[in-house]
Structure 1
Amino acid sequence: MKTLVARSLKYQEGVVSVLDQYLLPHQTTWHICQSVEEMAELILTLKVRGAPLIGLAAALLVAHLAEQGADKEALAKAIDELEATRPTAVNLMHCMAKLRIALQQPNWVEAVVSTAESLFEEDIALCERMANFGAELVSAGDNLLTHCNTGALATAGIGTALGVIHQAHAAGKNIHVWVDETRPLLQGGRLTAYELSCWDIPYTLICDNMAASLMAAGKVDKIFVGADRIAANGDFANKVGTYNLAVLAKHHNIPFYVVAPVTTLDTACPNGQAIPIEERNPLEVTGVSGSFGQCQWAPSNANVFNPAFDVTPADLVTGWVLDSGVYDQEAVSSGALLALN
């Protein structure tokens, strides 16, 4: 397999390495991953995260195992096990489906490797196109709000929603970004703030429950978020808390955009009700842990509800920014997303 290098995933000299996103921003630690068990654990513990990146990391590992001599049965099992790690993120399913097809080819080792390489390189190009389309929606001096982390840490390229922000900044639009901390795992506070700092983009970190007061005060011009799965009707799942923002944006008449590649589109899923929502460990809510250690604030016997994602209905979305263009309400309700499959 050729050398492939992204911000948080790389394949060099026969080694798959992933950046530990759970330890950012205070520690930079790379993990070498050589087995399905290791990759599954990295994904489940959010050391590898971001819908596009999860799929790519899993694909590179499968290709690596193919080159190391794993047989077809072992690779098929690896694909199934990796696909099961994160049930909401459809990019992972997309990548694994591509590898299943490659595994059926006569020269299946070469096919699996070339498929993984193509998926990686395709993601870089998809991010660039999304960023260019989305940046056209940003006006000079805009105050933008975003949720979770959707930048270069979560993709092979410059990101989805955060890629749009990066491109708008690069175009000299003099923007400022409000960053939701994104409870309970603080991907905004830890990762988005980190990326914006690296890119020298002005930002202000806020608690998730501060967004409404900012909108009421007229301090938010547009909202850009990512997605883990977009249904055929335009409903989409994203990090929990996104739906809150969409409702608030509708009330305050603020444009609300979802940014995602076509690989996040699931046209076999008719609507948001059909999107499986992953529920995670209650300990993520009863306390916090990271490079700084661990702190527990809730009673040990507290009942916890901890969905990783929520679903935003299509009628709250101003526009869907995909790598193929920007789609408005009229286009999506007319079946534009179905035509992209």
Structure 2
Amino acid sequence: MNKVKTLEFKDGSLIFLDQRKIPSQVSFFKCKGYRDVEYAIKDMVVRGAPAIGVAGAYGMVLAAREYNHLPKEEFIKAIMKSADVLGNARPTAVNLMWAISRMKKVINENINHSNDKIYDALLKEAKTIEDEDIQTNRSMAKYGNTIVPNGATILTHCNAGALATVDYGTALGVIREAHYSGKNIKVYADETRPRLQGAKLTCWELIQEGISTTLIPDTVSAV
């Protein structure tokens, strides 16, 4: 089954599979504070709108942890500032602003509670956003698989897999599901210039799953 998980919140830190190093190296990038998450988003340690959204949510959790010692008013201001910093890390990622808005709503709903309670509420919401992403992808994969014929040949562009989400993927999730159901599919993956997400990420993901994959230049996609 799926061997790729993009991020994990563990022991008070957010750990990313470092996508800058794939496919030559599998390594991890550990974020202990929200500024680390900001850097990870900006430098494409993590990429893909769904994954970035979840990263932003956990970034606010780390901010709440970092500023927990402050008096309530300063604590709230500091977290709200962190939300702006994280949002500006990738303004074009719609999921990032969506997730941050959800986290801000949680703060406002718990404004009269203690710093610890606010932290707990933020952590719970971030986990909910993460779980929703996984469930959405898996549901999409099941629906998508119903229209994939046996022996299908599928062309991909860029990376819409587990690496772009938390787990499983969107378009590649459908491909995974078809593979798991024994449909004997074959994939042609565009290299996806200029950053080569198809060559570096999509091919790597599919090979991890044992899915027949051929890398092709973008210029021969229509051949």
Q: TM-score, normalised by structure 1?
A: 0.59
- Contact 1:16/1:33 (8 A) holds in 2: yes
Which residue of 2 is the match for residue 43 of structure 1?
Answer: 41
Q: How does 1:101-250 map to 2 (within 5 A)?
A: 101-106=105-110, 107=113, 108-213=118-223
Whose helix proportion is higher, 1 or 2? 2
Give the deviation of 1:34 after TM superposition. 2.2
State the alpha-carbon separation in 1 of the partners of residues 155 and 90 from structure 2. 26
State the alpha-carbon separation in 1 of the partners of residues 31 and 62 from structure 2. 10
Give the deviation of 1:74 after TM superposition. 1.0
2:155 aligned counterpart, secondary structure: strand
State the alpha-carbon separation in 2 of the partners of residues 134 and 195 from structure 1. 19
Unaligned runs of 5+ in 2: 69-74
Whose strand proportion is higher, 1 or 2? 1
Q: TM-score, normalised by structure 2?
A: 0.89
- Contact 1:19/1:48 (8 A) holds in 2: yes
Give the deviation of 1:111 after TM superposition. 2.1
Bigger Cα displacement from structure 2, 77-86 vs 124-133 = 77-86
Which residue of 1 is the match for residue 71 of structure 2?
Answer: none
Q: How does 1:1-341 map to 2 (within 5 A)?
A: 7-70=5-68, 71-106=75-110, 107=113, 108-213=118-223
2:187 aligned counterpart, secondary structure: strand
State the alpha-carbon separation in 1 of the partners of residues 5 and 101 from structure 2. 25
Cα separation, partners in 2 of 1:85 and 1:69, compared to 1, 3 Å: closer
State the alpha-carbon separation in 1 of the partners of residues 160 and 107 from structure 2. 31
Unaligned runs of 5+ in 1: 1-5, 214-341
Give the deviation of 1:92 after TM superposition. 0.8
Count, aligned residues: 208
1:197-256, CA deviations, whole angstroms, 9 ceiling, x for partnerless residues? 00000011011111111xxxxxxxxxxxxxxxxxxxxxxxxxxxxxxxxxxxxxxxxxxx
- Contact 2:67/2:78 (8 A) holds in 1: no
Give the deviation of 1:61 after TM superposition. 2.0
- Give the percent of matched residue pairs that are identical in Structure 1 and Structure 2: 40
CA RMSD of aligned residues (A): 1.3
- Contact 1:18/1:48 (8 A) holds in 2: yes
2:162 aligned counterpart, secondary structure: coil
- Contact 1:105/1:111 (8 A) holds in 2: no
